[in-house]
Chains A and B, each alone.
Chain A
Amino acid sequence: MPIVKLTPIAQPELCLDCYAISPDALAGLTESGIADLEVWEGKVRWRLGDFFEVSGDAGRTPDETHVVVDGDASRMKYIGYKMTGGMITVNGSADMYLGGWMKGGKIHVTGDVDSFCGIQMEGGEIMVDGRAQNHVGCAYRGDWRGMRGGTLRIRGDAGNDIGTFINGGTIIVEGNAFIHVSTHGEGGTVIIKGDVQGRVGGQMVKGDIFVLGAIQHMLPGFKKVDTIEKEVDGQPYRLDHYVGDLGERHPSSRGQQVLGNLYVRAA
């Protein structure tokens, strides 16, 4: 797969909106065409080449394009924005909205990501080796349509508001999370391998949450129904099964009320 290497040569004063760093924006372009793509610092328009040294031509299609950001992109927002295929590797950290509205392809970040990673994601894979800030795989503010598909894996810890309004797909946080997991969830799966402080599944209608560590403060809208054995992310666990949020409106399917499932590692 042709590789386009973007090496940071300058850091912006404000965060840079890098809608152009995606296989979709680069596909079919040569080195010089890529350097001419626009990036925005607030309302000021720059060339991608003003902040990155570009080497290599892109593939013919997004699927045939691998973008490597080789260095610190912790002030570069919107990497992988709306991408449909191909690959992005960030050898370093990335700023907000990494993989936002992504539909396909793969993103691998070796460092950390800021907030809104995988916001309203519909497909593809995101893997972050480090930590994530808040709003992992959440809905856009105000929107009632959250993540719909794909896989989002954070190897470290994550902050608050994970999977708000999640509707499909899988979020895995291998470390700990702060508060608000799958708030307003309507489907999909969120796995927190570490501990969560609280507010897990608030106003959740449907979907699955797994907390493989402990929940410090359970919400009162969840009721324990069972203890089960189940494999989660390739490992067997003994889990207490709760349903909820019982304070929320729930649809029926074939005469049965549909509820959200919360599984917490059994003592």
Chain B
Amino acid sequence: MAELLIKNGSVFDPTRSINGDVMDVAIRDGRIVESAGPNAKVIDASGKTVMSGGVDIHAHVAGPKVNAGRTMRPEDKLFKSQAAAGGYRMEMGFSIPSTFRTGYDYARMGYAFVMEAAMPPLHSPHVHEEIHDTPIVDEAALPVFGNNWFVLEYLKRGEIENAAAYIAWLLKASKGYGIKVVNPGGTEAWGWGLNCLTLDDAVPYFQITPKEIVSGLIETNEALGLPHSVHIHQNDLGNPGNYRTTIDTLRLAEGVTAKNRFGREQVIHSTHLQFHAYGGDGWGNFESKAREVVDYVNGQKNVTFDLGAVTLDETTTMTADGPFEHHLNGLNHLKWTNVDVELETAAGVVPYVYSPSIRVCGIQWAIGLELALLCKDMDRCFISTDHPNAGPFTRYPRIYTWLMSRKFRDETIGSFKYSDKVVAATEIAGLDREISLYEIAQMTRSGPAKALGLKDLYGGLSPGQDGNVVIYDIDPANLPSDPSKLEAAFQRAAWFIKTGEVVVKDGEIMNHGNKRTLWVRANVPENPQVKRDIHDKFIKDYTVGLQNYEVRDYLAPNPYVIEVEMEA
């Protein structure tokens, strides 16, 4: 296989504390190597920024709820779809892009991996079909467990071993990666027209509280030794005053130590924290509580989070938090889809316009950025938009630019209809901090790779890691003063090399790459009770037979399977 030598770039690799040093990066057989031979193809990166491929820890990019959004919103494609060119596929849509646009746009931004953040297990074959249809970018998917009947029953009885055996079985059956929790208990309560807005609201029938669900799943996750931690969308998302529930949930991690062989240190990953850092007791006095939340996280080493930053776009919200989507539809009166997924979960979809003319949207925008600007450990704070909930993933370059440029933030605040009110309800206007390229690399590379237990593959440029290298046309010694130039350079990489192949050059797709699907096979001791429970529930409660449930191998034709062993 060809060798590549990327010469004289300004390299940012937080895994080795390399901060803009001018150096070479060599790739052979799809991996980073110490040095290249004389016949290596040379790419001149002088005066440019070099990083490893980006890692997105949380986005909704494949599966039935993304497709429900596509079906429900043909207008998302209007004026936003280009004809195919140069042997590549047509690209369609904005907030719910086609699979091809998804793969191409991640590649153009230099991303090597994205985690599909909420897989309904029953529909995992569809999730994998879409993942397979999305070119270039490696993917994995997190099945949702926070409202699953098996889990609720085992945890109610304190049966961690049974929960672990069931989760191990489901990860294998769905080719899933880890444990996602969405509005623990609340989505199941939605089946009764109710919700769980605090940690102590018991789920009807099951009589288990969100607190017991989260604590039980953290314990199960560490018992299994999974590469990723529990990944949680907390209760009471999107409501004024929810920051208390947020901090209460994070406290459940206190005193728990991560147990795994992947170098992961956190036991809880708190996703789209922007939606969970709200103060006030109604929309009238709605305000930022980013400082309260981040102050807690700063002192709590076993917690990581991603931003869920609002990008001020028209977008499509979608979540397994069914009751929240119903609530949102009551606020904006646009379209609404609701789906129940049998014993497992639910989902809702509602379009949403984050308008710069609406005070609350301006405050939400500020909170997303404040979380990063107030954070003291950028290896635990990751960039996301909870795509497409707070905005499309294609706005990551704009988020980097807001974080890197106080001038750009001030311009945006100045463009709001209610600037004064946004400033009064937040502290964004007083924050001088400008995030560095090194910190961007922590928030999009080394940090999320480690939190996912994938630091051997992604996140850095050490020999042996995947040969994923992006070159941005940004001279660190001379950053453009025009924010839009910085954003444009991040949007369309000068080069992106994915596992040793040039997939992007000058922002154009050159190659469909060698896309992989990652999943975790957790090996647990034989558990006849769980086996019988699964068999019985498929007979009694599911609409499909057990033999039709598993994701067949052909749906994930290029797998990368991570094995873990649970001790008896």
Seen from chain A, the residues whose Cβ lies within 8 Å of a Cβ on chain B are 40, 43, 140-144, 249
Q: Which residues of B contact A40 (CB under 8 A)?
A: 83
Q: Which residues of B contact A141 (CB under 8 A)?
A: 74-75
Q: Which residues of A contact B83 (CB under 8 A)?
A: 40, 43
Q: Which residue of B lies closest to A144 (CB)?
A: B334
Q: Which residues of B contact A43 (CB under 8 A)?
A: 83-84
| B333 and A249 contact, CB distance less than 8 A | yes
Q: Which residue of A lies closest to B74 (CB)?
A: A142
Q: Which residues of A contact B301 (CB under 8 A)?
A: none
| A140 and B75 contact, CB distance less than 8 A | yes
Interface membership of B78, Cβ < 8 A: yes
Q: Mark B54-85, 1 if CB is under 8 A from A, else 0.
A: 00000000000000000011111010000110
Known: A43-B84, A140-B74, A249-B333. 5 other contacts (CB 8 A): A140-B78, A141-B74, A141-B75, A142-B72, A142-B76
Bound together, the chains give a CA A141 to CA B77 distance in angstroms of: 11
Bound together, the chains give a CA A141 to CA B71 distance in angstroms of: 11
| B75 and A143 contact, CB distance less than 8 A | yes
Seen from chain B, the residues whose Cβ lies within 8 Å of a Cβ on chain A are 72-76, 78, 83-84, 333-335
Say how far A47's CB is from chain B's closest CB, in angstroms: 16
Closest 7 CB pairs of A and B: A143-B75, A142-B74, A142-B75, A141-B74, A140-B75, A140-B78, A142-B73
Say how far A103's CB is from chain B's closest CB, in angstroms: 14
Bound together, the chains give a CA A120 to CA B299 distance in angstroms of: 53
Q: Which residue of A lies closest to B77 (CB)?
A: A142
Q: Which residue of A lies closest to B90 (CB)?
A: A43
Main secondary structure of the interface of B (DSSP, over half): loop
Q: Which residues of A contact B335 (CB under 8 A)?
A: 142, 144
Q: Which residues of B contact A144 (CB under 8 A)?
A: 334-335
Q: Which residue of B lies closest to A120 (CB)?
A: B78
Bound together, the chains give a CA A249 to CA B75 distance in angstroms of: 23
Q: Which residue of B lies closest to A251 (CB)?
A: B333
Bound together, the chains give a CA A80 to CA B32 distance in angstroms of: 55
A-B contact pairs, 19 of them (CB 8 A): A40-B83, A43-B83, A43-B84, A140-B74, A140-B75, A140-B78, A141-B74, A141-B75, A142-B72, A142-B73, A142-B74, A142-B75, A142-B76, A142-B335, A143-B75, A143-B78, A144-B334, A144-B335, A249-B333
Q: Which residues of B contact A249 (CB under 8 A)?
A: 333
Say how far A142's CB is from chain B's closest CB, in angstroms: 4
Bound together, the chains give a CA A40 to CA B72 distance in angstroms of: 27
Say how far B96's CB is from chain A's closest CB, in angstroms: 11
Bound together, the chains give a CA A43 to CA B73 distance in angstroms of: 23
Bound together, the chains give a CA A109 to CA B566 distance in angstroms of: 75
Bound together, the chains give a CA A142 to CA B75 distance in angstroms of: 6
Q: Which residues of A contact B73 (CB under 8 A)?
A: 142
Q: Which residues of B contact A143 (CB under 8 A)?
A: 75, 78
Max count, chain A CB within 10 A of own CB: residue among B73, B78, B84: B78
Bound together, the chains give a CA A83 to CA B566 distance in angstroms of: 66
Bound together, the chains give a CA A144 to CA B336 distance in angstroms of: 13
Bound together, the chains give a CA A142 to CA B83 distance in angstroms of: 21
Say how far B95's CB is from chain A's closest CB, in angstroms: 13
Q: Which residue of A lies closest to B333 (CB)?
A: A249
Say how far A121's CB is from chain B's closest CB, in angstroms: 15
Say how far B327's CB is from chain A's closest CB, in angstroms: 16
Bound together, the chains give a CA A266 to CA B434 distance in angstroms of: 69
Q: Which residue of A lies closest to B79 (CB)?
A: A101
Bound together, the chains give a CA A143 to CA B334 distance in angstroms of: 10
Bound together, the chains give a CA A8 to CA B422 distance in angstroms of: 57
Say how far A147's CB is from chain B's closest CB, in angstroms: 15
Bound together, the chains give a CA A141 to CA B335 distance in angstroms of: 13
Q: Which residues of A contact B76 (CB under 8 A)?
A: 142
Say how far B74's CB is from chain A's closest CB, in angstroms: 4
Bound together, the chains give a CA A141 to CA B74 distance in angstroms of: 7
Bound together, the chains give a CA A141 to CA B73 distance in angstroms of: 8
Bound together, the chains give a CA A134 to CA B555 distance in angstroms of: 42
Q: Which residues of A contact B333 (CB under 8 A)?
A: 249
Q: Which residues of A contact B84 (CB under 8 A)?
A: 43
Bound together, the chains give a CA A249 to CA B72 distance in angstroms of: 21
Q: Which residue of A lies closest to B71 (CB)?
A: A142
Bound together, the chains give a CA A144 to CA B78 distance in angstroms of: 13
Say how far B19's CB is from chain A's closest CB, in angstroms: 47
Bound together, the chains give a CA A43 to CA B334 distance in angstroms of: 33
Bound together, the chains give a CA A40 to CA B320 distance in angstroms of: 41
Bound together, the chains give a CA A143 to CA B72 distance in angstroms of: 10
Say how far A120's CB is from chain B's closest CB, in angstroms: 9
Bound together, the chains give a CA A142 to CA B71 distance in angstroms of: 9
Q: Which residues of A contact B74 (CB under 8 A)?
A: 140-142
Bound together, the chains give a CA A160 to CA B335 distance in angstroms of: 22
Bound together, the chains give a CA A43 to CA B83 distance in angstroms of: 7
Bound together, the chains give a CA A261 to CA B284 distance in angstroms of: 33
Say how far A39's CB is from chain B's closest CB, in angstroms: 13
Max count, chain B CB within 10 A of own CB: residue among A40, A141, A142, A144: A142
Say how far B71's CB is from chain A's closest CB, in angstroms: 9
Q: Which residue of A lies closest to B351 (CB)?
A: A144
Q: Which residues of B contact A142 (CB under 8 A)?
A: 72-76, 335
Bound together, the chains give a CA A90 to CA B83 distance in angstroms of: 28
Bound together, the chains give a CA A40 to CA B83 distance in angstroms of: 11
Bound together, the chains give a CA A258 to CA B83 distance in angstroms of: 44
Bound together, the chains give a CA A85 to CA B83 distance in angstroms of: 28
Bound together, the chains give a CA A40 to CA B84 distance in angstroms of: 13
Bound together, the chains give a CA A249 to CA B74 distance in angstroms of: 24
Bound together, the chains give a CA A141 to CA B84 distance in angstroms of: 23
Q: Which residue of B lies closest to A45 (CB)?
A: B83
Say how far A18's CB is from chain B's closest CB, in angstroms: 16
